[in-house]
Chain A
Amino acid sequence: MFEPKAFWTVAMGRGLLALGAAVLIVGPALFSIPQLQLLTQFLSLLVIAIMWNLLAGYADIVSIGQHAFVGIGAYAFYGFAVFAGLNPFIALVMAGATALLFALPVMLVIFRLREAYLAVGSWVVAETLMLIAGKLSAFGGGSGVSMPVSVVKELGAQPALRYETIYWLSFALAGLALASTFILMRSRVGIGLTAMRDDEEGAGAIGVNLIRSRILCFLWAAPFLGIAGGIITLQKLRVAPPASFSITDWTVYVIFIVVIGGIGSFEGPIIGTIVFFLIRQYLADIGVWHFILLGVLSIAVILVEPRGLWGLLRRIVPQDLIPVSHAPPRRRRAQTPDADKAPSPTL
């Protein structure tokens, strides 16, 4: 059955996504340096939002301590690039590995807390790690330290070239995060996660291993957050506890992004990040009011349409733009006459 209207809405949505991706690919040729920096921020925040959505939207790990892993990544990147003198690209990978390594003991703490307690528990862990980072005198203690120029130059001799390299790094990370999480969601594990999102008890009852899925998601998110922290450090060119472990930038904004865009959907974080950047570009000068607006908006979203903007759009768009769920098998009753020839019960 072909429904032209439905087909065209979906095609238009996918077309917009493809157009967005195309613009990002030719971005460096198109945009000025400040615009490219903005896009780099956009892509970094998108990665963090995708990961928070994976945890909160599917695996039921509502973390308010996401910024911990971004901060760990930032500090690890600085350490590997500056003290160990590694090539910045390798240092980024090491930043991801370090975040993954930290995720193991952190999991030991927060997985003992369930549900709402986990949220504040993860925050305590993040606070503790930030305070410890402020005690590291090699990293400038509480006031932080700037990247040496020699390390920065490894990314390109001229600033323009450097910004382009950093842009491509964030582009690659966002692409990797989207593609790999898409594959994860399409896999057997992902089907289990979707079942958990819809009904946790039910999912457990039909054999989804809830604990294993949660652990997998948590460990999945950590390295992406760590590498994002490294890329953010490359942009800011310094590490400092309150900035690298910024709860506002890497957790508060991210929660608003995902909630407003649509929690528990693949499209939600993408839409949310776009909306967030629009709000920030045009409303940043209203100061505290843009926070209040985001807060009110997110509360309204949860009470009115918990699936966010994408949930609203989804009333018009008949299917997911990014098909993370599997289409149900088509009924082929007409072609399979076997169904009619089912053996009649023998009495």
Chain B
Amino acid sequence: MLAAIVNQILQGVLLGGLYAMFAMGLSLSVGILRFVNIAHGDLIVAASFLLLTLTSQLGLPPFLAVLLVIPVAFGGGYLLQRLLFQRALGKSVLPIILVTFGLSIIIQNGLLGAYGADTRKVAGGAFETATLALGDGVNIGVLPLTIFLTAVAMIGLLDRLLYATRIGARIRAVSDDVATADLVGLPSARIYAIAMGVVGVTIAISAGFMSIWTNFDPASGPSRLITAFEAVVLGGLGSLWGTLAGGIVLGVAQSLGAQVDAAWQVLAGHLVFLTVFLIRPQGLFPRS
């Protein structure tokens, strides 16, 4: 009995790694670009479908496909920010919400038209099913563990990128005060676009893992967005390490909820989110 509960909690923690991956891109756009990209989840799903095409049509191994998609996603994020989002940014947040919302519907229906409504998955080979036995009936999958460790590494790298590199300093400068950044000659529109390109990279990597681990279909985007949003808010808006904490809280809640039935899995996550949010609206690790 105890082993079963430990197992569930452990699975939940590892699931939290995937959620943190969804969330870190959103956290960057919230913290740096100061908007919530409603199409964030749909972009993850779109990247997953791209991976599906690369692996099933061209027969590429998933790892190679992800490596190919990463630069595409960086360029996509860069252009999306430069050509679309930048035009909608301004004093009011209404235009950017509505533009990303429109984009979300376009992506969902574009994928529906191109791939149909079927649920899909990318085949990951033996890697997918391998497990490590920790004794006492507690097992963990190699894939979930890899995802979790990758998420931790990604957060560490993003943290270094923002706080220990030249481009990171520029990104933070533009994010803190765009008018002053412009005044000292920083190309703010280009820096924003680079930040969105970085978000694109996180989207490509999380899509790579999501498409192997879970099923997805063209309408899966909103649930990914909501999960990412909950992890960001739980962790504290704009805090990168907070997204990991938020993701773990959600993962554990869902994993324990799933013990009741499938519908409780998602509901438990939402209820825990709402409860924690009401008690601690600033999140677990608010960025001062």
Contacts and interface: CB of A to CB of B under 8 A. Distances in A.
A303 B101 contact: no
Interface stretch (A31-39, A83-91, A221-229, A288-296): A288-296
A140 interface: no
A20 B65 CA distance: 57
Contacts of A259: 98, 102
A112 B281 contact: yes
Interface stretch (B1-9, B169-177, B204-212, B224-232): B224-232
Instruction: Classify the interface of chain A: helix, strand, loop or mixed.
Output: helix
B77 to A, nearest CB: 17
A25 interface: no
B102 A299 contact: yes
A252 interface: yes
B213 interface: no
B95 A306 contact: yes
Interface in B104-129: 105-106, 108-110, 112-113
A130 B26 CA distance: 25
B226 A295 contact: no
Interface string A120-144: 1101110110011011000000100
Nearest to B84: A299
Interface in A98-121: 108-109, 112-113, 115-117, 119-121
B97 interface: yes
A329 interface: no
A234 to B, nearest CB: 28
Interface string A253-297: 001100100010000000000000000000000011101101110
Interface of B: 30, 35-36, 38, 84, 87-88, 93-99, 101-103, 105-106, 108-110, 112-113, 222, 225-226, 229-230, 233, 237, 263, 266-267, 270-271, 273-274, 277-278, 281
27 contacts: A60-B94, A62-B94, A64-B38, A108-B278, A109-B277, A109-B278, A113-B233, A117-B229, A117-B233, A117-B237, A119-B38, A119-B97, A119-B101, A120-B38, A123-B222, A124-B226, A124-B230, A124-B274, A127-B270, A131-B263, A263-B94, A289-B109, A292-B106, A292-B109, A292-B113, A295-B103, A302-B99
Interface of A: 56, 60, 62, 64, 108-109, 112-113, 115-117, 119-121, 123-125, 127-128, 131-132, 134-135, 142, 247, 252, 255-256, 259, 263, 287-289, 291-292, 294-296, 298-299, 302-303, 306
